Amino acid sequence: MRVLVCVKRVPAPGAKINITDDGQSVDATNLGHTMSPHEECGLELAVQLVEAHGGESHVLTLGVTEADEQCRWAASIGINKATLIDVGTQGWDPQRTASAMTDAIRAIEEVDGGFDVLIFGNESADTGGFQVGIRVARALGRPMVNAIKGVNISAGIDGENTVLEAQRETDSGMEVYKLPMPCAIGVKEGITWPRYPTMRGRLASKKLAVDVAASDAAPGGQTMVRLNRPEEQVSETIILGEGAAAAPAVIELLKELGLWSEGTSKQEVGA
């Protein structure tokens, strides 16, 4: 099985996200970089699929030269190959990004053979456009379902019957999709449990040859003007008290909100 995972380099902010003075980007001074937890899970899923079925996994990223770091992280947990489309910025719009990534995937497939599964994050951690994977899949003519939170790794994906069974979480359960391969999915955190890099993985990642590609894709119709911090309604926090002594004040509040019913005794609830 051949699996591709697309990951996007983003800053790793803490309690607050600062913006540069010109409003053009997140101020990443003193910040490390990471990727969306969705994409981390996507990498893990790719490694598991290849462990179960044999084959090869490949990571693809579009952005700045430094996104090499995310490629090596992917290799440290077991991804086999990497391609970086170096466009000198993390700021390409979704249509342009998708078009460049589609070209890159075609180029990789021409040399290495077609991918059975393309894995995207449900949405990127920063811009969250909810579309790059869908656009790429459509351009390549492959079925795509987003918001996938479960994949049947072992069943139905070998031999003749090449179907990927994928599940999407809803309020009341799961929707089941059966995608004929080659196919694409957008995954959510929780689909699997990402492993930590091992020492051996880290060493291997140092030796990884990251393929660097370029792109001349044309801009799309969405242009960022600037970033702003949303207005927060800064309400003065009302301190209801300290420790157990605050319980009566909390119960008063619950009553005010209509969330406390005297009727329900503890026994009834426990029964």
Partner 1 sequence: MSVLVVVEHDRGTLADASLEAFAFARSIAGQLGEQVEALLIGADAAGLADVCAAHGAGAVHHASIAGDSVGDYGPEAYGMVVASLAALLLPSGIVASGTDRGNEVLAQAAAELDLPFVANCVSVKTADEWELTRVQWGGSLNEDALLRSRLPIVSVAHHSVEPQEVSIGATAAITEHIVELPEWVSRSVIQDRVVLSEGLTLATAPVVIGGGRGVGSAEGFNVLEALAARLGGVVGCSRAVTNNGWRPHSDQVGQTGTRIAPQLYIACGISGAIQHWVGAKAAKKILAINIDPAANMVVKADYAVIGDLFEVLPAIEQG
Ligand X SMILES: Cc1cc2nc3c(=O)[nH]c(=O)nc-3n(C[C@H](O)[C@H](O)[C@H](O)COP(=O)(O)OP(=O)(O)OC[C@H]3O[C@@H](n4cnc5c(N)ncnc54)[C@H](O)[C@@H]3O)c2cc1C
Interface stretch with ligand X, choices 30-38, 51-59, 81-89, 206-214 (CB under 6 A): 30-38
Select the residue interacting with ligand AMP from 40, 93, 103, 123 (CB under 6 A): 123
Contact 226, 99 (CB under 8 A): no
Contact 99, 217 (CB under 8 A): yes
Q: Is 78 in the site for ligand AMP (CB under 6 A)?
A: no
What are the DSSP calls for 117-154, one per residue?
Answer: EEEEESS-SSS--S-HHHHHHHHTT--EEEEEEEE-SS
Q: Is 97 in the site for ligand AMP (CB under 6 A)?
A: yes
Strands 117-121, 10-11: pairing is: unpaired
Residue 190 binds which one of partner 1, ligand X, ligand AMP, none, with CB within 5 to 8 A depending on kind?
partner 1
Interface stretch with partner 1, choices 62-70, 82-90, 112-120, 262-270 (CB under 8 A): 262-270
Closer to ligand X by CB, 12 or 212: give it: 12
Q: How many CB atoms lie within 10 A of CB 192?
A: 20
Please give the structure tokens belonging to residue 89: 């910025």
Contacts of partner 1 in 80-109 (CB under 8 A): 93-95
Binding-site string for partner 1 from residue 121 to residue 160, where x marks contact by CB under 8 A and - marks none = -xx-xxxxxxx--xx--xx---xxxxx-x-----------
Q: Give the contacts of 230 (CB within 8 A, at least 6 positions apart).
A: none
What are the DSSP calls for 51-116, one per residue?
Answer: HHH--EEEEEEEE-GGGHHHHHHHHHTT--EEEEEE-S-S---HHHHHHHHHHHHHHHHHHH---S
Interface stretch with ligand AMP, choices 19-27, 117-125, 211-219, 248-256 (CB under 6 A): 117-125
- Alpha carbon distance 195, 213 (integer Å): 28
Q: Is 132 in the site for ligand AMP (CB under 6 A)?
A: yes
Select the residue interacting with ligand AMP from 11, 121, 182, 197 (CB under 6 A): 121
Return the residue matching tokens 């809803």.
Answer: 170
Select the residue interacting with ligand AMP from 68, 120, 179, 185 (CB under 6 A): 120
Q: Is 12 in the site for ligand X (CB under 6 A)?
A: yes
Closer to ligand AMP by CB, 129 or 253: give it: 129
**By C-alpha distance, which of 46, 55, 39 is closest to 78?**
46
Residue 168 binds which one of partner 1, ligand AMP, ligand X, none, with CB within 5 to 8 A depending on kind?
partner 1
Interface stretch with partner 1, choices 58-66, 197-205, 210-218, 221-229 (CB under 8 A): 221-229
Q: If residue 166 lies in a helix (H) or strand (E), which one and from where to where?
A: strand 163-169
- Alpha carbon distance 46, 3 (integer Å): 6
> What's the closest the beta carbon of residue 178 comes to partner 1, in angstroms?
5
Contacts of ligand X in 68-127 (CB under 6 A): 125
- Alpha carbon distance 249, 264 (integer Å): 19
Q: Which residues bind ligand AMP (CB under 6 A)?
A: 6-8, 36, 38-39, 60-63, 94, 97, 120-121, 123-124, 127-133
